[in-house]
Structure 1
Amino acid sequence: MVYLVYSAVMADDTSDPDRAPGAPGQLDVVARAHRVLSDELNRGVFAAGSRLPGERELSGRLGISRGTLRKVLARLAEEQRIEPSPHRGWYVGSSQMVSEPASELISFTEMARARGLRPTARVLDRTERPAGYEEAARLVLGPAAPLIELRRLRGLDDRPVCVETAKIPRGVAPQLAAADMTDRSIHAALEEHSGVRVVRSDFMVWAAAAQAETAELLDLEPGAPVLIGEALTYAQTGSPVLLTQTVYRSDAYRFAATLTRTHP
């Protein structure tokens, strides 16, 4: 199942003092209410999949006008914390789902923590081997250059979410051949051990059927739908430093993108 990300922008109500253009402190009011409601979502005050209280009740609880509340709800929808349902109100999204913000490069660990979840990573396998022809070409390496391959099971609050296979040129970060990569971000490890800061990634995603081994790791039936994301990630120098393929449970990941029209 592929989830489409929906962003809602409510109609302006200039009669509302909190929403009036240029109203003093208006941004602070929105930010404070957003923090309060985000914290309640993180603490499970509203269960995943449940309907949020109506605007009158929510605005009263937060001490804000309905117009300001609509701005807060729109922001939470953009963050994929809640989802609109026409004529029915707002519903809490799945608390066990990750998604990169559109056009922003962040790690799995950062995605999880932004949603108030605990990211986990269990190392399944780690090998050192010569790079294959395609791997060497994509990572701009010489033929059969040494490569570190790290395979991990990633989870959210101990629930398996994806199987990640990362390939790092040994010359970029030789320390990763032995570093403890349990519950760690590869992006953070690259910077900590080798001073390599990732800044850009070419990413593509496609649907597939889960192979038997992957299905068992993700608590799925063999052949169940999964999403596969592949990323070629570049350092601040402009050189590719990481090639990753990640197999996600289809009910735990959604892909967001910002599309720009380049011609009339």
Structure 2
Amino acid sequence: MVDSSVTPGARRRAKRAPRARGAASALDLTLLGDLDEGLPVPLYVQLAEKFAAYIRQAGDLAVGTCLPSENQCLEFFRVSRPTVRQAMAELSAQGLIRRERGRGTFVQNARIEHDITHVFEEDMRAKGRTVTFRVLENIQMPAPSRLVGVFDAADRAGLRRIRRVRSLSGRPISLEDRYIPARYAEMLDEKLLTGSSIFLLLRRWAQAGTIRCVNAVRSELAGEEIIELLGVPPGTPVLVRETSYYGAHSTPLMYSSVSFLGPSYQFCFETEMKIA
């Protein structure tokens, strides 16, 4: 398939030009091979697929690798600038790369896929990954005004607030803020808070086979605290998931607000739709 955004003259000049080998980049473009103009697949899709295949095959070894510049890709693959930019946008949408202004484009850790009907820690450990926590705060306090409607009157005077940084295989990925009635919080010891899931106890508190969850998800830009604690640059998008948990007889068990790094995280869930 011919890249229609390149003029015939430019294409002839490009064919005569020697191919750049990406010497200034940690990723050698010769490993990716050529694009095939004869395929009924857009060139930007082919280019994105070649980079994606390399990144997935290399796995963790590719993380942090600097991708070749636009100009290097233009010369090596003999395509237009819009084609390269579309390919990079596709890789970014897949969560495979990150762009840093003034520095370049880098391979990042694979996007985390989490089925929110499962406990995150159990989901990740089933995939062979280690989840740990760093406790920032563990205090007792009255319910904030925004949570008055979540907890019963008897619990509002004494909630345990637990703030933790959650890490996956040693990499900080989220900041969680949880509020639990004090009568339940007595069971929360240091071992559980730093290395286990609070949901181990939540099952016991629920006194039911299932827990009802009321979720709200929004996006925002990382604030100063997220930037510092999770080590991300300003402007990083964040997914904030707020959840109220209820046990038997709609008894409030916990409220949580968890901020995930948007480029590195993906919610998955299955639901039914009501059609009037």
Residue from 110, 115, 118 that aligns with 1:100: 115
1:205/1:228 contact within 8 Å kept: yes
Distance 2:121 2:228 in 1: 23
Q: What is the distance in 2 between the residues matched to 1:233 and 1:260?
A: 20
CA contact (8 A) 1:128 1:177 kept: no
User: Cα offset for 1:195?
Assistant: 7.2
User: What residue is the counterpart of 2:241 in the other structure?
Assistant: 229
CA 1:168 to 1:185, structure 2 compared with 1: closer, same or farther past 3 Å?
Answer: same
Secondary structure class of the residue paired with 2:125: helix
Kindly indicate whether the alpha-carbon contact (under 8 Å) linking 1:149 and 1:167 is maintained by their aligned counterparts in 2. yes
* Whole-angstrom distance in 2 between the partners of 1:186 and 1:143: 18
The reply on whether 1:130 has 2:145 as its aligned counterpart is no
Please name the residue that 2:228 is paired with: 216
What is the alpha-carbon distance in structure 2 between the residues aligned to residue 210 and residue 172 of structure 1? 31
Q: 1:253 pairs with 235, 247, 265, which one?
A: 265
Q: C-alpha displacement at 1:180, in angstroms? A: 4.5
| Cα separation, partners in 2 of 1:190 and 1:143, compared to 1, 3 Å | closer
3-state DSSP of counterpart to 1:111? helix
Gaps of 5+ in 1: 1-44, 51-82, 84-92
The answer to whether the 8 Å contact 1:122/1:182 transfers is yes
2:128 aligned partner, one-letter code: G
Contact in 2 for aligned 1:207/1:227 (Cα 8 Å): yes
Matched AA of 1:99: H
Q: Distance in 2 between matches of 1:49 and 1:165?
A: 29
Q: Distance in 2 between matches of 1:238 and 1:143?
A: 14
Amino acid at match of 2:133: A
Distance, in Å, in 1 between the alignment partners of 2:155 and 2:192 is 28
Q: 1:123 to 1:98 in 2, by over 3 A?
A: farther
What displacement does 1:221 show? 1.5
Task: Give the SS at the match of 1:175.
Answer: coil
- For 1:120 and 1:177, locate their aligned partners in 2 and report how far apart those are by CA, in whole Å: 15
- Residue 175 of structure 1: aligned partner: 187
Q: CA deviation at 1:123?
A: 0.6
- The alignment partner of 2:115 has SS state of coil
Name the Cα RMSD after superposition: 3.1
What do residues 222-243 of structure 1 show as CA deviations (whole Å, max 9, x unaligned)? 3321110111111244312010
The Cα shift of 1:171 comes to: 2.1
Query: Which residue is 1:69 aligned to?
Result: none
SS, match of residue 163 in structure 1: strand
What runs of 5+ residues in structure 2 fail to find an aligned partner? Answer: 1-55, 62-93, 95-107
Q: Contact (CA 8 Å) 1:99, 1:256: kept in 2 or not? A: yes
CA contact (8 A) 1:97 1:251 kept: no
CA shift for structure 1 position 111: 2.1
Question: Do the aligned residues in 1 keep the contact of 2:202 with 2:253 (CA within 8 Å)?
Answer: no
Alignment of 1:42-61 (within 5 A): 46-48=57-59
Q: Is the 8 A contact 2:206 2:247 kept in 1?
A: no
Q: Decide whether aligned partners of structure 1 residues 123 and 143 sit closer, same or farther in structure 2, where only a CA change above 3 A counts.
A: closer
Q: Which amino acid aligns with 1:152?
A: R
